[in-house]
Amino acid sequence: MERTRRSSPVSPPLEYAKEGTEDFSVLRRLLLAPEQVQLDRLRQRLDTFVVGPEEVSNVLPDAIRLRAQQDNRLLASMVPITQEALALSIKQSPQLISDSIAPILGSAIRKALSRAMREMLQSLNQTLEYSMSWQGLQWRWEAWKTGRPFVEVVLLHTLRFRVEQLFLIHKKTGLLLNHVMAEGISSQGEAAISGMLTAIQDFVRDSFQQSQDEGLESLRIGDLTVWIEQGSSAILATVIRGTPPVKLRDVLQNTLDSLHAQYSDSLKNFQGDTAVFLETRPFLEDCLQAQFVKKQKGLPVAFLVLCALLLALLGWWAYHASLHHQQWTEFLKRIGAEPGIVVTSIQEEEGRRVLHGWRDPLAVDPERLLEEVGYSSNAVGFHLEPFIALTPEMVHKRAIQVLQPPESVEVSIEGNRIVLMGESSHRWISRVDQSAMAIPGVSEISMERLIDTDVKQFETLRNALEQQAIFFLEGQGRLPDRELVKTQQVKHILQELDKEAVKLGRELSIDVMGYSSPVGSQSINLLLSEMRAKKVLDILSEPPYQVLKLAAMGKGVDPDGTSVAGEEKGYARSRRVSFKVVEAKTIHPPREAGVRKGP
């Protein structure tokens, strides 16, 4: 409509023209018609002024915001209505309310629970993390030295910051409205401290002529910082250990602001009764924040080193355990195979192993076996009864021990027979038979291949003697000088033979036989041969022998000499004295060479 009128300004004047009669009116209408219409309409609107919902809806949000900034009267007037509305709403549709509250409550409860859990875990974690490290050890030492609990020392060292106490203080009186502390903090005289904090503020303010709104913002004492948030009627003093982040300040200021909004009347009319401020506790407790130094990820070096050491130790132990085991089995194998030792049982006694069984006194010392395999000998005990083993090895050992054979004799055992090989003196051989039979497990002795060195020597000497011949000149019983020397050789052989005979225990006679050549008469030859034999005997008789006896006999013409008859050379060989050993094999025990003195 409006639009139509404005777009066709010619038509209204025509309307007025019908009504008016005066010229002036006409003129006015002609000149001011459009404005007149507008004025009329404005008047009409003012006369019937009602704020339409449209207009209110346009300004309502801003209006509420503006008013809330100005003061809290709007809030105050809203409270009863809201409360009633809420109450009514709960009455009418409780399900709706509980549905909408449930998620909030749920998450709030979850949050509270998880916070409690986190705090618990954190202190546990830290304690664990640090209890293994080098750092941890140092702190343990510190804890021990200072007498503080380890957890507390860890806390102090790992803390970046921690809000320890909050004082909500009434500004005008300096009285303490509420006070919260972090866990483990003990406090005394909060009321006095609260007053002192206010006094110090006043002091600073007065001293440096600051306005009432200004105030001390922070104090620092060593590791402690006190942050002071100023409100119109309350101040919030926060005691922080460590270095707090700046954004904590916002948290504190916001807390103080919201407390102001909530308790403005109580703060204004505060007369010393702090009961109403007990409800501020959760808000203040929310400010009890803490942050810890992050430990670098990964295992701590000290922990790794410890692990490596442990592993090495374990390896070393395992190596030794297996070596130990190896040595033990080796030992058992060895002792099991050892002749003359029979292990019947192995028992654990007082932490050591004791072997029970039998041992031939000639068997190897078991301690030596232990030593050889390298097993520690004091970890093993032996309880071995003595016995005589009849195994070939032990019989052999015993034979060696009993017979004490010279190095040139080899002793071996074949079943129950002892076999001797090699050569030995007559003295040893003559005893060996008897001794050998006394060895347990021996019932036969074989000495076929055992050579008697004394017999051998005797035979050698006998041969040597019997090949000797002393030659005489034709028809003479006198010895030429050359042959005289030879008799000395013969005498030497005889002396040796005499010694051997003593050793062998034999009586010994030597025939000294004289011969002659066939030249000449038989009777003369006999005489001559006799003469020659006696001549040699005389020479050989001195010095006397121990058992040897010499007998001179004339044999007449040499029977062998005839085979080469006719030759002067053959005859010359017949004019001689030869020797023959006649053994008188008397059996008596052999005697020491030196013991026997003369026949």
Under the rule (CB under 8 A), what is the footprint of another protein? Answer: 170, 172-176, 188-196, 199-200, 202-203, 205-206, 271-275
The amino acid occupying position 215 is G
Considering the complex, state which of residue 154 and residue 193 has its C-beta at the smaller distance from another protein.
193
In this structure, are strands 417-424 and 450-452 parallel, antiparallel, or unpaired? parallel
Considering the complex, state which of residue 188 and residue 521 has its C-beta at the smaller distance from another protein.
188
Supply φ then ψ for residue 381, to 5 degrees.
-115, 160
Structural Rg of the chain based on CA atoms? 71
CB of 259 to another protein, least distance (A): 18
Q: What is the distance, to the nearest Å, from the Cα of residue 142 to the centroid of all Cα atoms in its chain? A: 30
CB of 256 to another protein, least distance (A): 19
Q: Is 465 left (phi over 0), alpha (psi -120 to 50) or beta?
A: alpha
Considering the complex, state which of residue 72 and residue 173 has its C-beta at the smaller distance from another protein.
173
Residue 125 token pair: 């974690």
Considering the complex, state which of residue 137 and residue 199 has its C-beta at the smaller distance from another protein.
199
CB of 222 to another protein, least distance (A): 17
Helical segments of 133-245, H only: 134-146, 150-158, 190-207
Whole-angstrom distance, CA of residue 563 vs CA of residue 387: 73
Look at the block and give the residue holding tokens 């005589």: 388
DSSP per-residue letters across 536-577 = HHHHHHSSPPSSEEEEEEEEEE-TGGGGGTT-HHHHHHHSEE
CB of 81 to another protein, least distance (A): 35
DSSP per-residue letters across 18-64 = HH--SHHHHHHHHHHHHHHHHHHHHHHHHHT----HHHHHHHHHHHH
Cβ atoms of 449 and 431 closer than 8 Å? no
Whole-angstrom distance, CA of residue 324 vs CA of residue 375: 7
CB of 175 to another protein, least distance (A): 4
Look at the block and give the residue holding tokens 């003559």: 430
Look at the block and give the residue holding tokens 């017979």: 403
Considering the complex, state which of residue 250 and residue 279 has its C-beta at the smaller distance from another protein.
279
CB of 164 to another protein, least distance (A): 17
Considering the complex, state which of residue 41 and residue 172 has its C-beta at the smaller distance from another protein.
172
Whole-angstrom distance, CA of residue 444 vs CA of residue 456: 25
Considering the complex, state which of residue 215 and residue 477 has its C-beta at the smaller distance from another protein.
215
CB of 160 to another protein, least distance (A): 29
CB of 82 to another protein, least distance (A): 32
Cβ atoms of 444 and 416 closer than 8 Å? yes
Whole-angstrom distance, CA of residue 181 vs CA of residue 239: 9
Query: Which CA distances in Å does 183 have to 155, 168, 187, 290?
Result: 12, 18, 11, 11
CB of 286 to another protein, least distance (A): 23
Considering the complex, state which of residue 228 and residue 432 has its C-beta at the smaller distance from another protein.
228
Cβ atoms of 526 and 504 closer than 8 Å? no
Considering the complex, state which of residue 5 and residue 260 has its C-beta at the smaller distance from another protein.
260
Considering the complex, state which of residue 202 and residue 393 has its C-beta at the smaller distance from another protein.
202
CB of 171 to another protein, least distance (A): 8
CB of 149 to another protein, least distance (A): 24
Look at the block and give the residue holding tokens 């000294």: 512
Cβ atoms of 500 and 461 closer than 8 Å? yes
CB of 212 to another protein, least distance (A): 9
Residue 222 token pair: 């060593």
